[in-house]
Structure 1
Amino acid sequence: MKTDRIYNVGVYCRLSKDDGNEAESASIGTQKAILTDYVKRQGWHLVKIYVDDGYSGTNFNRPDFQAMLKDIENGLIDCVVTKDLSRLGRNYLDCGLYLEVFFPEHNVRYIAVNDGVDTLNRAAMDITPFRNILNEMYAADVSVKIKSAYRARFNKGKFMATKAPYGYIKDPADNNHLLIDEKTAPIVRKIFDLALAGNGIGKIRKYLNSQRILRPAAYAAENGEGYERYFKDSEENRYIWSENSVRSILRSPVYAGNLTGYKRPTVSMKSKKRPSRLPEEWETVPGTHEGIVTQKEFDTVQQLMTSRRREKNQYGYDNVFLGVLKCADCGYAMRAASANRRKRPDIIDCVQYCCNNFGRYGNVHCTSHTIEARDLLNAVMTDINEYARMAVNDEKAVKTLQQRLSKISDQEAREYGRERRRLAKRVAELDKLFAALYEDKVMEKITERNYRLMAAKYEQEQMNIEARLSAIDAELVAKGRNDKGIAAFVERIREYKGITTLTARIVNELIDRITVSERVKVEGGGYEQHIRIYYKFVGALDPARVHEVTPRRCLVPDKACQRCGEVYSPLSNVAKYCPTCRPIVRKQQEIESSKRRVRSKKRQNGA
């Protein structure tokens, strides 16, 4: 459309990595030639050529595109020219926002030469929203194809990162396969050995620093892989490991011979946010290369790290249940408490566990669930020995146990299937609503404010649906039980037949968690307490019972009650009254204390 106005033109050229395989007409040089020639023929003034080479059209956070927007806001240009509409972008919502809102608000004319788009021509602009939708569909199609290609290669166990992880090198014969690096693999092996021995990340880091072992970045720099800039100011930094480096090695399944990926997947094609996933949510392809450690050793280290184990507490007690012991009623951790008043030779007999929730807030939220450390240790060790004996000697009992394992019912599977189909249908409906909403905005049936409010509402619903679908998948995995689980359990527990000492390593290799119930009185005197052990692969089997025929007493001599004179067995050295007199004395003390407060208050008022 010819006009007499002389425009100050900004020519915009863009080429994404995916467009690199297209014909020569899509290259930056060709775009510049076409557009500069077009501006000259119109007799306009070419102010600047903006170029974004290697940037996707779905992302509008491009350097030169943002520079062009600033120049528009500063009034330097009043016309934008591109080769076609897809060079501006491939996100139809954002493209529409610039064409329908930003450019008109700043009195900027936009022209896409090959597509015949001109914001001064309303007839041509009526079809523009549909061109934007087609451009986005193209980008979405390319995105799906690329992701599918990467997914297929990942599922085949192909390593696709630019650099091999520390401890490995890329196979010269196959760039997508990993080989053990004989120079650094022993260091990785030592890190895992230290962790298996119960050392924390801080201690492992101190050991590596004391041995002056090159940190991963320094080793990569020596092999010409960059990072040299980090060590220009201080040569000593080459030998200073960070806790994050140690933690990332201990957490990476690659060292057990597994390929891991999708640690930070994109939310969608339109969003570049990459939220981090927890290690248990990573996707893993097992057995893709030779591991530096075994899978069993790797799993044990994960359990040790998760439980945040300490070697010994301040009382010298080796708490082998730290991180796995929970209250059966409220789910809080059970903490070890030392009763120093007890006159017992072994430290374990001076320790008991109680609910941490009760310890913090009293009986408002939970009860004590107290259990002797010795009783718990004996009960767990007896349970492990029993199943280890059965795994070695009793095949019939193993088959019976396998039949008892819970399996996800057909009814549950059908319910989850129905919910998944309902959610998938709603996702399709939201896609249609998005398209209709944008058309309403373009046709000015709704205001910009209402458009943004509705779009945000639909987007939030989409995120909620995606979260629920992920939760359904997680529940299906958690509920699923199969023969492999009992086989792995039997294979692992048979190694511990006849154990006489229970260590933190054994607990973490066999057990996910242990729950302890409250003690209850039984007929005939004494107490009974249930503990439930949740083994790895199979979960809880039979609840163990801790019987206590007589109440717990400390090893202190009998003494006479200071009130009635009767001889009784005290619970501690500081006890003064027998069980009969103790509540009477406490009541009298409370009454006397109340009287003293009243007298003190009267004296203050009189003064």
Structure 2
Amino acid sequence: MKKAAIYCRLSEEDKNKLCATDDSGSIQNQKAMLVQYAEEQGWEVYQIYSDDDYTGADRRRPQFKRLLKDAEQHKFDIILCKTQSRFTRELELVEKYIHGLFPIWGIRFVSIVDNADTDNKGNKKSRQINGLVNEWYLEDMSDNIRSVLTNRRVNGLHIGAFALYGYRKDPDRKGHLLIDEEAAAVVREVFNLFAQGYGKTSIARILNTRGIPNPTEYKRQHGLRYKQAVSKNSTLWKYFAIADMLENEIYIGNMVQGKYGSVSYKTKQCKPRPKDQWYVVRGTHEPIIDQELWDKVCRRRAERSRPFSDGKIGIFARKARCAYCGYTLRSSKTQDRHYLQCPNRHISVEACPGAFIAVSHLEEAVLEELNRMAQEFLDKDEAAESVAFCKDLQKQKKCLQKEINTYRQKQEEYTTGIRNLYLDKVKGLLTEQDYLAMSKDFAGERDRLEHVIEDGEKQMRELEERIAIGDNRRALVEKYMNIEHLNREMVDTLIDYVVVGRRAKGTKTVPVEIHWNF
């Protein structure tokens, strides 16, 4: 007797049907229908796999994943569903599993309502058409969500879950912002201090010394459901928070949205959009900062962004990191000497001891270590080193790919969560306000993961290039032996990144850890 695995799925769009005849979409009726069909065919029911409240585009369904794992191990012979869309709405998965892996695993797929049966060669086209129709459903749903959000952005309505620091949502008018005077006073102070000549780190230090909570902590203290990982320094103002505030046009009454956009409903990825594609609507709300102060701050920001004339400061740009908090070190100049320091160095005594090193000292440390390693490497057997080199790169690639896959899975979970929230809103299970609040959290975390994935893919490409080139370390070492000074090209070629600490009292040595590209 053949064994049949029954798969049932109740999606969000099936819940709370108004018509009694639609009750066939319930899990109970699916199970009864499928069990009866299996008995009529003389099949033994191996197990019932059931996912409640999941959409057909969700690849993270727990029972769906278990079903596929058991299918691969051939614990049963047949997968039985009510319709093909209960199994998946994605054409890609139809081709991958129903037409691809299931025949290889010896698994027959049957859905009784739409008459899909992989043992029937003649209905393959109908299965593909079903998959295409389900795919269109996903695309239409994505377009509908996007059109609603675009319309609100074009009309200057705020669609975020939380208002920008300094504002609050208008309880009587959706999409409109009102000034939050308590936070707005801090915003005005930040702009005035910067216009008076204070640096961004200095402003952060001033606010932290007075115990003013940063925007994240402010939201929490005022009872907003703002979810973010709480760390030791999560309540402190930092350089980047001040920098972002000074660049945000919302503070002069202009609504700016759509800085990030999804690539397509298929990839579930969001990427930064060109500035000319942002949604900017002027005069949508009362400004906190007047135009005169805004213009003054813009001029000062432009002046401070000019690079040093000799370009020396750029040798270790984005290569040096703080040993204590992991932030990329920023450059500074004092009396013709160039330094690298942690941006968290001055925001608070408790925040970070603050890495600090002169560029010339870091250059000396790199050159000294490079020459030492060069001599040691050239003394070793080339063949043995080459084998070890290749094995190490392959190991790095495998670990990195595993991390990227994990981040992608998490990103898909957040995207699916947003889609499910929207369906709840459409069906009246969520209010507009609750939907925006909850979806904002998901979208923010999804966007953060997008940047993490981009960085990981960049590292993967670099690793693959190094593997393709092979062990060229001997040539590199010979090329850069006994050099007296570094330039940016050399640093990019030789160094992945450098970890810098802070000189301990009573010593003259700054701890430096160099991570090479070879």
TM-score bracket for the superposition, by shorter chain length:
0.5 to 0.7
Aligned to 1:100: 99
Instruction: Give the distance between the partners of 1:302 and 1:32, measured in 2 at CA.
Output: 65
Per-residue deviation at 1:149? 1.9
User: Could you tell me which residue of structure 2 aligns to residue 293 of structure 1?
Assistant: 289
Q: Which residue of 2 aligns with 1:147?
A: 146
Code of the residue aligned with 1:207 in structure 2: it is I
- For the residues of structure 1 that align with 2:28 and 2:165, how far apart are their CA atoms? 42
Deviations 1:470-511 (A, max 9, x none): xxxxxxxxxxxxxxxxxxxxxxxxxxxxxxxxxxxxxxxxxx
Whichever residue aligns with residue 47 of structure 2, its letter is: V
TM-score w.r.t. the length of structure 2 is 0.52
- Alpha-carbon offset, residue 198 of structure 1: 3.8
Task: Kindly provide the amino acid, as one letter, of the partner of residue 261 in structure 1.
Answer: Q
Structure 1's 281 and 199: CA in aligned 2 closer, same or farther, altered over 3 A?
farther
Deviation at 1:221, TM superposition (A): 1.5
| CA displacement at 1:21 relative to structure 2 | 7.3
| Superposition deviation, residue 63 in structure 1 | 4.5
Match of 1:71 in 2: 70
Give runs of aligned pairs for residues 226-375 of structure 1, distance below 5 A.
226=225, 230=229, 237=233, 239-277=235-273, 282-295=278-291, 297-298=293-294, 301-302=297-298, 304-305=300-301, 308-309=304-305
- How far, CA to CA, are the matches of 2:37 and 2:195 in structure 1? 70
Aligned AA (1:172): P
Aligned-residue offset at 1:229: 7.8
The residue matched to 1:175 in structure 2 has which SS?
A: coil
The alignment partner of 1:172 has SS state of coil
Q: Aligned pair 1:208/2:220, yes or no?
A: no
* Residue 47 of structure 1: how far off its partner (Å): 2.1
Paired AA for residue 44 in structure 2: W
What residue number does 1:60 align with? 59
1:265 aligned counterpart, secondary structure: strand
**Aligned-partner Cα distance in 2 for 1:93–1:206:** 53
Taking a change above 3 Å as real, the CA distance of residues 97 and 261 of structure 1, as seen in their structure-2 partners, is same
Q: In the aligned structure 1, how far is the partner of 2:47 from the partner of 2:86?
A: 19
Query: Does the 8 Å CA contact 1:261/1:284 hold for their aligned counterparts?
Result: yes
For residues 205 and 10 of structure 1, do their structure 2 counterparts lie closer, same or farther at Cα, with a shift above 3 Å needed?
farther
1:52–1:64 Cα contact (<8 Å) kept: no
Q: Aligned residue for 1:47?
A: 47
The 8 Å contact of residues 8 and 45 in structure 1, kept in 2 or not, is answered as: yes
Shift of 1:213: 0.3
How far residue 305 of structure 1 moved from its aligned partner, in angstroms, is 4.0
Give the conservation status (yes or no) of the 8 Å contact 2:49–2:64: no
TM-score normalized with structure 1 length: 0.45
1:351-403, Cα deviation, whole Å (9 max, x unpaired): xxxxxxxxxxxxxxxxxxxxxxxxxxxxxxxxxxxxxxxxxxxxxxxxxxxxx
Q: The residue matched to 1:13 in structure 2 has which SS?
A: strand
Amino acid at match of 2:176: H
Q: Are the equivalent residues in 1 in contact too, given 2:201–2:238 (CA < 8 A)?
A: no
Query: Residue type matched to 1:107 in 2?
Result: G
Question: 1:170-181 residue pairs with structure 2 within 5 A?
Answer: 170-181=169-180
CA–CA distance in structure 1, aligned partners of residues 268 and 116 of structure 2: 29
Q: Deviations over 1:488-540 (max 9, x none)?
A: xxxxxxxxxxxxxxxxxxxxxxxxxxxxxxxxxxxxxxxxxxxxxxxxxxxxx
Say what the alpha-carbon RMSD is for the aligned residues.
3.7
Partner amino acid for 1:269? Y
Q: Distance in 2 between matches of 1:153 and 1:54?
A: 28
SS of corresponding position for 1:161: coil
Q: What are structure 1's unaligned runs of at least 5 residues?
A: 315-335, 340-607
Query: In 2, distance between residues paired with 1:79 and 1:303?
Result: 70
Q: Decide which moves more: 13-22 or 283-292.
A: 13-22
- Distance in 2 separating the partners of 1:32 and 1:296: 69
Distance 2:185 2:213 in 1: 13
Instruction: Mark the CA change 1:286 to 1:120 in structure 2 (over 3 Å): closer, same or farther.
Output: same
Task: Look up the match of 1:128.
Answer: 127
Listed one character per residue, the Cα deviations across residues 109-163 of structure 1 (whole Å, up to 9, x for unaligned) are: 2122221111112222232112222222222223222222221122122222222
- Rounded to whole Å, the distance in 1 between the matches of 2:268 and 2:127 is 26
Deviation at 1:205, TM superposition (A): 1.5
User: Quick check: 1:7 aligned with 2:6?
Assistant: no
Alpha-carbon shift at residue 199 of structure 1 (Å): 3.3
Give distance in 2, aligned partners of 1:33 and 1:149: 39
Change (3 A) 1:194 1:147: same
Q: Give the whole-Å Cα distance in 2 for the aligned partners of 1:80 and 1:45.
A: 10
Residue 310 and residue 72 in structure 1: after superposition, are their counterparts in 2 closer, same or farther (change >3 A)?
A: same
Range with bigger deviation, 252-261 or 70-79: 70-79
CA displacement at 1:209 relative to structure 2: 1.0
